[in-house]
Amino acid sequence: MRIKSLLKYLPVLSIVLVAGMLLVIVVLFTLRNINAQNERMEEFTARQGISVIRTLEAGTRTGFMEGDWGIEHLQVLIEQAAKDPEVEYVGLISDDGTILAHSEPAKIGLSLLIGKELDTVKTVIRTGEPLSYKLELPGGQTIFEIWKPFTPFPDQLAQRDLIARQTHIGKDLMDVFDRERKYVLFLGLRTDRFKEIRQQDIILAIFMGGILFIIGSASVYFIFVVQNAYLVRRTLDEMRTYTRNVQESMANGLITVDRSLRVATFNSTALDILRKPREEVDGRPIKELLPLEDEIKRVLADSESILEKEVKISNESKEKTFLGLSVSPLKEPDSQIPRGAVVILRDLTMIRELEQKVIVSEKFAALGRLSAGVAHEIRNPLNSIRGFIQYFQKKLALEEEDYRYTELMLTEVDRLNRVISKLLAYSKPREPRLNIRSPEEVLDHCLRVVEREAAEAGVDLVHSPLGENMPLVLMDTDQITQIFLNILINAVEATPRGGQVSVKYDVDNGRLHIVIEDTGMGIPKENLDKLFDPFFSTKKKGTGLGLAIVRSIVEGHGGEIEVESEPEVGTRFTVTFTTYQAPDESGLDRTQADMNSTAGLARN
């Protein structure tokens, strides 16, 4: 737990550590620069002081050479030199400690050789080299002193010859600069300007150190910010990818809507359910896709979810889709105001179709049982009535008109008997006897059967066979013939003179689609759903059992039948069967007898 707490503050600690290291480096470099600057300052000051001393020596030598020059002239030179702002004092001292000249005349003649000064004079005289050091005066003032041997004569060895040539020098001057004595010229230079420069350098160093510290800290912070931004971006990308994968893996459709009621995001399942391409969904108003505008407004206003509202929509191909919709508010973690809504779509079409099929099956089963009982009860009296009519025709001498009436009664009894036979066929369909056959052969036979009727009605029959590409189907030939005859006869009857009835085939993924299309008057939309219901017919003399029996036979073969119609354009029936796939013979122990049996079955 403690390690996790430390890891939480690791970026801050790293920044502080790096900043501290930068500060230490800056301080060390600053101290080094200051020390180097002090050394250069002392070196420069020493050179400056020695230059002043050499100037005094040169002036003294020049005075001796010109003659009429005394100690007072050296005093004047020293006082003039002391007027320099950087010169604190200048003086000349002999080896016995007596001050011979000084920028402060009051100190002339005094003896100041004690302690450190005495050691300095002795060292300078002994080594013959200049010596310099810093001297701290009361009041905090620092003086840089330079001590250097003073040689006023151009050549000490030729001093007597020089004096002989210069007759105006005077005996006092020779007494001052005795050839046997040593002289030291000392100079005190002020360091105030150097202190100011050093303070400025220190301030500048502190300023630069602060800038470097800030820049270094900012750089480290920027590095951490960039790294954190990269990590955050990578984490967001991973979360976005994960969220997208979750959305795409959902079995239900997902759509998010913003407050302007436009689609913000969606998954591919939603596109599949809506049967629309991406560009027709992205950013579109939700009311153009789903009838949910009022519900979403209510969710955005009340922040309450709406669960499982069922709606029915139709696409461009007029296919109906049943959807179960749930709407929930999309909120921010720290806000009670929804920023949008989430719509969950469930495709209930298959469920509703299955429910409808179950309802229809149950209804038809009940109707079949009732019809079977009623048909049985009606057929026996009908047979009796037919028998009595025939008896009276033979027994009684009926007039021609009465006989015509009895014939009409027999005709109606036979028609009623046929209806009962169809009703029994629908209520108790015969179990299909399956053979491997080509549907093209069956349809060719059916077309020949209705060919004469079509010619009389002025309707063209168009057949587009597949030939060798026609797959085989397991079928009961008699029942399949009944299907296509029923559909073809209806198509011919519904097509006006000059129209056309066509038969086409389409094979797709192991399924054979047989399309029978006419150019008749079409079927009204309100009648399409009732077309396969028993006893529903638009014909004056129709029983309403033909298409009901057709669908019963198709479903008995594991197939499907669909109808599409448009008034004044025509009707299209599509019957779909699963094609026959020969079993894989590898690894199977089949006998030649079995193969011959199968071949014989195909010929039938």
User: Other CB atoms closer than 10 Å to residue 446's CB: what's the count?
Assistant: 22
- Could you tell me where in the chain the CATH 3.30.565.10 domains are found? 435-580
d(CA 404, CA 183): 179
Name the band, by pLDDT with cuts 50, 70 and 90, for residue 588. Answer: very low
d(CA 71, CA 233): 89
Which range, of 300-309, 426-435, 478-487, 561-570, averages the lowest pLDDT? 426-435
Higher-pLDDT residue of 44, 476: 476
Of 305, 315, 311, whose CA–CA distance to 324 is shortest? 311
Structure tokens, 73: 């002239």
What is the pLDDT at residue 527?
Answer: 79
- Quick one: 587 exposed, middle or buried, by C-beta within 10 A (0-12, 13-18, 19+)? exposed
| Percent share of the chain, pLDDT over 90 | 3
For residue 285, what are the β-bridge partners?
262
d(CA 266, CA 223): 37
Q: Is the pLDDT of residue 1 over 80?
A: no
- HSE-CB of 586 using CA atoms within 13 angstroms: 0
d(CA 488, CA 518): 9
DSSP secondary structure letter of residue 574: E
- HSE-CB of 551 using CA atoms within 13 angstroms: 17
What is the pLDDT at residue 70?
Answer: 65
Whether 174 and 214 have beta carbons less than 8 Å apart is answered as no
- HSE-CB of 481 using CA atoms within 13 angstroms: 13
Give φ, ψ of 313 to 5 degrees. Answer: -125, 160
Higher-pLDDT residue of 6, 403: 403
Q: What CATH code is assigned to 353-427?
A: 1.10.287.130
Of 348, 324, 359, 312, whose CA–CA distance to 533 is shortest? 359
DSSP per position, 166-220: -SSS-HHHHHHS-TTS-EEEEEEEE-HHHHHHHHHHHHHHHHHHHHHHHHHHHHH
Residues 6+ apart with CB under 8 A from 81: 52, 55, 56, 87, 90, 103, 187
Q: What is the pLDDT of residues 119-163, one digit of tens each?
A: 787 788 888 788 887 777 777 678 888 888 887 665 543 444 444
What is the pLDDT at residue 7?
Answer: 52
Sheet (strand 183-190) strand order: 99-102, 87-94, 183-190, 142-149, 131-136
What is the pLDDT at residue 13?
Answer: 66
Residues 6+ apart with CB under 8 A from 425: 549
Q: What is the pLDDT of residues 174-198, one digit of tens each?
A: 555 666 678 888 888 877 777 777 7
Q: How far apart are the first and last CA of the chain?
A: 84
Q: What is the pLDDT of residues 479-491, one digit of tens each?
A: 888 888 888 988 8
Name the band, by pLDDT with cuts 50, 70 and 90, for residue 375. Answer: low
Higher-pLDDT residue of 141, 601: 141
DSSP secondary structure letter of residue 261: S
Higher-pLDDT residue of 59, 466: 466
Whether 507 and 469 have beta carbons less than 8 Å apart is answered as yes
What is the pLDDT at residue 87?
Answer: 82
Give φ, ψ of 447 to 5 degrees. Answer: -65, -35
- Could you tell me where in the chain the CATH 1.10.287.130 domains are found? 353-427
Q: Which CATH architecture has domain 6-199?
A: 2-Layer Sandwich (3.30)
Name the band, by pLDDT with cuts 50, 70 and 90, for residue 320. Answer: confident
Q: Which CATH architecture has domain 435-580?
A: 2-Layer Sandwich (3.30)
What is the pLDDT at residue 601?
Answer: 34
Query: Stretch 456-482: mean pLDDT, rounded?
Result: 87
Which range, of 68-72, 136-140, 143-147, 593-597, averages the lowest pLDDT? 593-597
**pTM for this one?**
0.40
What is the pLDDT at residue 596?
Answer: 42
Q: Which amino acid is at 215?
A: I
Query: Stretch 463-485: mean pLDDT, rounded?
Result: 86
What is the pLDDT at residue 430?
Answer: 61
d(CA 266, CA 247): 8
Q: Which CATH architecture has domain 251-347?
A: 2-Layer Sandwich (3.30)
Name the band, by pLDDT with cuts 50, 70 and 90, for residue 66. Answer: low
Q: Which amino acid is at 405?
A: Y
Of 581, 376, 554, whose CA–CA distance to 473 is shortest? 581
d(CA 53, CA 34): 28
H/E stretch holding 600 reads helix 592-603
Q: Taking CA 93 as the corner, what is the angle to CA 92 and CA 95, rounded to the nearest 5 degrees?
A: 145
Q: Which residue has the tokens 């020059």?
A: 69
Name the band, by pLDDT with cuts 50, 70 and 90, for residue 171. Answer: very low
Bridging pattern class, strands 511-518 and 320-331: unpaired
- Could you tell me where in the chain the CATH 3.30.450.20 domains are found? 6-199, 251-347
What is the pLDDT at residue 575?
Answer: 92
DSSP per position, 486-501: HHHHHHHHHSPTT-EE
Q: Is the pLDDT of residue 322 over 60?
A: yes
Of 379, 393, 298, 292, whose CA–CA distance to 344 is shortest? 292
What is the pLDDT at residue 539?
Answer: 67
Highest-confidence range of 76-90, 199-213, 421-435, 525-539, by mean pLDDT? 76-90
Q: How far is CA 550 from the centre of its chain?
A: 54
Q: What is the pLDDT of residues 506-518, one digit of tens each?
A: 988 888 999 999 9
Query: Stretch 449-469: mean pLDDT, rounded?
Result: 87
Helices 10-66 and 192-249, interaxial angle, to 10°? 160
Structure tokens, 357: 């099929």
